[in-house]
Amino acid sequence: MALINTGYLEYDELKNIQTLPDDERFSKGPVAIIECVQEIPCNPCEAACHFGAIQVGEPITNLPTLIGEKCIGCGMCVARCPGLAIVVVDKTCSDTTATVSFPFEYYPIPTVGEERKALNRKGEIVCSGKIVKVVNPASYDHTPVVTVEIPKEFADEVRTVERV
Amino acid sequence: MLQKDVLVIGAGPAGLAASIEAGKYGASTLLVDLNMQPGGQLFKQIHKFFGSSAHRSGTRGYDIGKQLLQEAQEANVEIWMQSTVIGIFPEHKVAIEKGLDSGKKEMITIQAKKIIIATGASENAIRFNGWTTPGVMGAGAAQTMINVNHVKPGQQIVMLGTGNVGLIVSYQLMQAGCDVVSLIEAAPKIGGYAVHAAKIRRAGVPIRLRHTIIEAKKGENGCVCGCVIAEVNEHFQPIPGTEETIACDTIALAAGLKPTMDLVKLAGCKLTFNGPFGGYIPLHNDRMETSCLGIFVAGDTTGVEEANTALEEGKIAGISVAEDLGLISPDTASNQRKEIWERLHSLRLGPFGERRMQEKEAVMKEYETCIGAPIPIQ
Amino acid sequence: MCLRVKNHVILDCEHTGKEVEILVDGKVIKAFEGEPVLAALLNAGIKINRYTVKRKEPRGLFCGIGQCTDCAMVVDGKANVRTCITPVQAGMVIQTQDGLSKGE
C-alpha cells in the first residue's frame, strides 16, 4: 500500500480497497465515502448510522462497508468516525458544482459564505471553495462537519479546506 | 499502620478501572498516584477513541476519564494524589511519601491485603547531539502542556516518530495553534494508523521517511532554534552529505514507550523481556496476578498498549482481588473475566493487534510453565 | 510572548484558578493558581529551569509528568522541586536551580 509510505491515499488505491458509490449512486444525491482502509479495531460508524447503511460486524477489525442504497448522506458518520476518515460527497447540487462535507476540528471553524482554499488528501490546493454549511451540534461532540462547494470535477479530490 | 483491603498504585485507566471493580464489591480500596490530578494520561487524550462502540469508543479520552472518576467515587474508592510509593516490603507493607516537593512531605506506611501495580509507561528518549537542550521533549510532555495545561511548549514543532503517538500529538499541536513543520521517521514506512497519518497530510505537513534527527541546534537563549536531519541507510545510520537544517523551537520525541517497572521490580515480581511490549514486563497469569502472591498488575506496566486495553486489564485485576478477598464467587469472577478476555481479544485483532495478542499469550504461557502458582514475597 | 492556548475547537481553555503573581528570579510574572509552575513559566517564555552540576548545561521540560526531574527548580527556598507537578500559589518565589542547590 502506497499509503503507508506517503500518508495519503490515491483515489485509485482507495477504489481497490473500499466499496465506493458508483456513478448511478452519485447521481441520486449525497452519499458517504469511507476512506478507512486498515483493519483496526473500531466500529462506531456502524452504530452512528441510523439507516443501517454501514456494516462492520464481527470481528470489529473488519473494514466498514457502505450500502449505497441505504445511505442518505446525512453526515452523522462523518462526525462520529474517530479516524475522521469519512466524507459525504454530493454531485447533484448543480450542473457544474459538487459539495464535500468533511470533519474539521481546527480553530477557527469556517463560516457559511466564506471562501477558503480547498485541499486534496496531500494538503495541496486544488481550487477555491465556498463554505455552504457548517453543522456542529452537541451530538457531534466537538467535531464540526463543514460543507464546501467546489467545481464538480474536483469532487473526488477535495477532502478539506485550508486552516487559517 | 493503616490497613486496607486493596492498594492500587497509579490512577490512570488501568488503576482506576481496577479500583472501581474492587471498590464496587465492597473492598476498602486506596488508590495512590504521584501526580496532581487522577486520570493518568487520559485527560490529555482529547481525540475520540477507537474500539468497540459497546465500550466507550467514539468517546474522547478526557470524557472517559471523567466517567471513571465518577464511578470511582460511587465505588467509595479513596484517592490520594501527590503520593509516591517508595517501598514495598514483605506482608504487603507499603511506604508512601505524601505531599508536594515544595511543601512538607509525610511518610505513611500502610498494609494492604492485595496490591495492584498500574504505574503505566514512560516515553523513550532518542539521543542525538544536543538532545538535552531545553525545547527537546517527549511528545507526551508536549501533549500534556497543550491539552491539560493549555500552554504551547513552543510555536514551531518538529516531531520525531510516526507511530500513533507522533501522529496524534502532531495533530493536536496543530489544533492548539502550533505549526508542525515536519514529522521525521527513520523507518521506511509510517508506523501508526493510516487515518492518523491522513489527517497530518491533509493539513499539508510533510512526513520524512528514512530520516532521523542528528542534532538539535542551540540558539543564543540556550534553547532549541532548529534541528539537523539526515537520511538514514538500511541500518538506520545517517548518510553523510544528506544533512538539512530545519528551523524550529521545539523537538518532540515520539519514539515509543517502555513500561514503568520500578515498583514491580521492588516487589520482586518475576520479569520477562518482550520487545513488542516495550521492554521488561512482569510475568502474569490470566487473573493479572504476578509471581508474587497477592500482587497484581494491569495496563501499560504489563506491556505498552492503549487506554482501552489498560481499562479492560484493570477490570480483570479488580475482579480477581475481589474474588481472592471472598467478595465475589469464583464462578462470577471467572465468567466476568471470560467476557473481558473476549473484548481484549477483539481489541488485539488485525494487522496492528495480532502481534500483541500473540505476545500476551506467550507471557501468560511463560507464567504457567515457569511459575505455575504465585508465591509470597520473600 | 504568550503561549497560552486560547481558542480550541474541542477544549475549553478557561483557567479555573484565579490569576496571581509569582516571582521568578526576581521578575514578577502572571500565573493561574493551581496550574503547574512549569506551565506558567513556559507561557512567560522561560524554558530553562536548571543548570547541571558539572557542565552547567541548561535543562527544561522533558517528561512533564514528574518522572525525569529536568524541570527541578528552587521554590520558596526549597531545592529540587519538580515544577511540572507543583501547583502555583500566589506569591511563590521561584529560582532557576544551579546544580544540586541546597536551597535556602
Residue holding cell 496550574? C35
Q: Does A128 touch chain B (CB under 8 A)?
A: no
Those chains having 3 or more beta-carbon pairs within 8 angstroms of chain B are A, C
Decide if pLDDT at B64 tops 80.
yes
Confidence grade of residue B56 (pLDDT, cut at 50, 70, 90) = confident
- What size, in residues, is chain A? 164
Q: Domain map of chain C by residue range?
A: 20-98
Q: Are A152 and A91 in contact (CB under 8 A)?
A: yes
Q: Looking at CA atoms only, how far is residue A25 from chain B in angstroms?
A: 25
Write out pLDDT tens, residues B109-136: 999 999 999 999 999 999 999 999 999 9
Q: Looking at CA atoms only, how far is residue A114 from chain C in angstroms?
A: 18
Average of per-residue pLDDT across B188-194: 95
The interface residues of chain C toward chain B in range 54-83, judged by CB-CB distance below 8 A, are 57-67, 70, 75-76, 78, 80-82
Please name the helix (run of DSSP H) or strand (run of DSSP E) that holds residue A102, with its range, or none: strand A97-103
Write out pLDDT tens, residues A17-47: 888 999 999 999 999 999 999 999 999 999 9
Chain A residues near residue B347 by CB distance under 8 angstroms: 41
Decide if pLDDT at C20 tops 70.
yes
Write out pLDDT tens, residues A70-109: 999 999 999 999 999 999 999 999 999 999 999 999 999 9
pLDDT attached to residue C16: 83
Nearest alpha-carbon partner for C73 in C60, C56, C57, C91: C60
- What size, in residues, is chain C? 104
Tell me the pTM. 0.96
CATH number of this structure's domain B2-122+257-370: 3.50.50.60
Decide if pLDDT at A1 tops 80.
no
The whole-angstrom separation of Cα B220 and Cα B132 is 16
User: Which of B52, B207, B210 is the mutation pick for testing A, counting most A CBs within 10 A?
Assistant: B52
| DSSP sequence for B59-82 | SBHHHHHHHHHHHHHHTT-EEE-S
Nearest alpha-carbon partner for A152 in A13, A36, A18, A23: A23
The whole-angstrom separation of Cα B349 and Cα B351 is 7
The whole-angstrom separation of Cα B168 and Cα B157 is 14
Asked whether the beta carbons of residue A82 and residue B349 sit closer than 8 angstroms, the reply is: no
* Total H helices, total E strands in chain C: 1, 8
Write out pLDDT tens, residues B335-373: 999 999 999 999 999 989 999 999 999 999 999 999 888
In B, minimum Cα distance to C49 occurs at: B134
| DSSP sequence for A86-145 | EEEEES-SSSSEEEEEEE--SSSPP-TT-EEEEE-TTS-EEEEEEEEEEE--GGGTT--E
Confidence grade of residue B183 (pLDDT, cut at 50, 70, 90) = very high
Residues facing B112 on adjacent strands: B4
Domain that holds residue A152: 3-161
Confidence grade of residue C1 (pLDDT, cut at 50, 70, 90) = low
Domains B2-122+257-370 and B125-253 fall in the same CATH topology = yes
Decide if pLDDT at B272 tops 70.
yes
Q: Domain map of chain B by residue range?
A: 2-122+257-370, 125-253
Please state the φ and ψ torsions of residue C43, each to the nearest 5 degrees: -60, -30
Asked whether the beta carbons of residue B201 and residue A6 sit closer than 8 angstroms, the reply is: yes
Q: Are A160 and A78 in contact (CB under 8 A)?
A: no
Q: Looking at CA atoms only, how far is residue B365 from chain C in angstroms?
A: 32
Q: How many domains does chain A have?
A: 1
* Domain made up of C20-98: CATH architecture: Roll (3.10)
Give every CB contact of residue A12 below 8 A, 6+ residues apart in sequence.
Answer: none
CATH number of this structure's domain B125-253: 3.50.50.60
Write out pLDDT tens, residues B286-308: 999 999 999 999 999 999 999 99
